[in-house]
Amino acid sequence: MRAARLSRGGLWLLCCGLLALLAASGVAAFGFGAARIPVSHVFAIVADALGLGSGTRNWTPAERNIVMELRVPRVLLGAAAGAGLAAVGAVLQVLTRNPLADPYLFGVSAGAGLGAVVVILYAGSLAGPLTLPGAAFLGALLAMALVFAAARGRQGAPTSERLILTGVAVAFVLHAATNFLITTSLDRGADAVMFWMMGGLGAARWSSVPVPLALSCAGIVWLMLRAASVNALAFGDDTARTLGIDPVRLRAEMFVVTALMTGAIVAMSGGIGFVGLVMPHIVRLLAGGDLRRLLPLSGLFGALFLVWIDVLARSAFAPREIPLGVVTAAIGGAFFLWLMRRRREP
């Protein structure tokens, strides 16, 4: 099945349309949850917060607190996590020439999760506001360093195949270490860790949003600036060298940037799977495999997807909330099976 070709003008038009849809979706999502808030009240509260209010206040103080203090940070974190994970997945799939590559394949998410779990279980209230994301950053970077060190062959530079296989092995080891810490912990924090490992945005607050939001946006911009060079790697290292690109250096740079992005997202939202795997495949059906088109569209589709999946997770069985990773795994896994069946050769 051939992907549709988008002109440059069509790409910009689609991106602008998706941005507008994301903004409208975010505002609409503020009203959903255990306490339903009318859409008219949501729009009035947001307009008043932006200084665009008409002066007539038809909402209660409780509704304003729910929207501005709980749901706005939650939607912002969901959009940042969806965009960041989808962009990272798109880069890794092109970088490694593996359609199954995503942030979880190389042990990055497992390393970030291990660092965060150590802080949650053993630092507790002594941890400062930056301790959790800092531990996740460190865990992600250490996991990536371990993958690179273990994947080195006799010639020194690790190949894409060795990186993938080593990443899978490292991820299993780190997941085992994380599960060991949880099962041997006698602290009540183990229950919170289990929910956090399945993914969720319930802990989003204004103090926790800036780091993942800033790193996701800055990381996507950086990846887009390097998209043309990464495209060259899709044709092999030898081809990249003829174009003046150092494959080893570029691959290391990309892995460090994606590790930082993944670490920031995992620290605040836990393990949310399948977003980085499925979203790039959906976008390829529309725009092809050029990373310069794939990156912005994957980010926007990923942000939209996670914002509405979070609405489903917190509204379907309200007031009980479904772990976000459970919903993304169910929907993403089913879609991926359908996609593979559709592409199956006769």
Instruction: Please write the tens of the pLDDT for every residue from 297-330.
Output: 999 999 999 999 999 988 888 778 888 888 888 8
Give the Cα separation of 131 and 205 in Å (integer). 15
**Angle CA 106–108–109, to nearest 5:** 115
* Higher pLDDT pick, 128 / 206: 206
Report the percent of the chain where pLDDT is more than 70.
88
Entry field: residues in the chain: 346
pLDDT, tens digit, for every residue of 158-194? 666 777 788 888 888 988 988 888 877 766 566 667 7
Domains: count for the chain: 1
Which distant-in-sequence residues (6+ apart) come within 8 Å of 116 by Cβ?
132, 135, 136, 139, 196, 266, 267
pLDDT, tens digit, for every residue of 64-92? 899 999 999 999 999 999 999 999 999 98
* Higher pLDDT pick, 342 / 2: 342
Report pLDDT for 136: 79
Does 257 fall in a domain?
yes
Q: Which two tokens stand for residue 292?
A: 């310069």
Nearest to 105 by CA among 231, 241, 237, 276: 276
Give the Cα separation of 239 and 245 in Å (integer). 9
Cis bond before residue 319 (omega within 30° of 0) = yes
Report the percent of the chain where pLDDT is more than 90.
21
Q: What is the mean pLDDT of residues 284-309?
A: 91
Which distant-in-sequence residues (6+ apart) come within 8 Å of 105 by Cβ?
92, 98, 164, 167, 168, 171
Give the Cα separation of 242 and 232 in Å (integer). 10
Does 41 fall in a domain?
yes
Does 17 fall in a domain?
yes
Question: Which domain, by its residues, includes 266?
Answer: 8-342
Helix and strand element counts for the chain (H, E): 15, 0
pLDDT, tens digit, for every residue of 225-258? 999 898 888 787 788 888 888 887 888 788 888 8
| Straight-line distance from the first to the last Cα atom of the chain, in angstroms, rounded to the nearest whole number | 13
Whether 93 shows a pLDDT value over 70: the answer reads yes
Does 2 fall in a domain?
no
Does 217 fall in a domain?
yes
> Is the separation of the CB atoms in 286 and 2 below 8 Å?
no
Look at 3-7, 197-201, 263-267, 270-274 and tell me which has the smallest mean pLDDT: 3-7
Angle between helices 72-96 and 291-315 (to 10 degrees): 140
Whether 1 shows a pLDDT value over 60: the answer reads no
* Higher pLDDT pick, 111 / 336: 111
User: Given pLDDT bands bounded at 50, 70 and 90, which one contains residue 156?
Assistant: low
Q: Which two tokens stand for residue 194?
A: 């289990």
- The CATH number that applies at residue 108 is 1.10.3470.10
* Higher pLDDT pick, 163 / 2: 163
The letter for the amino acid at 323 is P
Report pLDDT for 346: 46
Angle between helices 8-29 and 39-49 (to 10 degrees): 110
Q: What is the mean pLDDT of residues 37-41?
A: 86
Does 281 fall in a domain?
yes
Phi, psi for 103 (deg, rounded to 5): -60, -20
Report pLDDT for 77: 94
Give the Cα separation of 269 and 74 in Å (integer). 10
Does 3 fall in a domain?
no
User: Given pLDDT bands bounded at 50, 70 and 90, which one contains residue 344?
Assistant: low
Whether 32 shows a pLDDT value over 90: the answer reads no
Does 316 fall in a domain?
yes
> Is the separation of the CB atoms in 216 and 264 below 8 Å?
yes
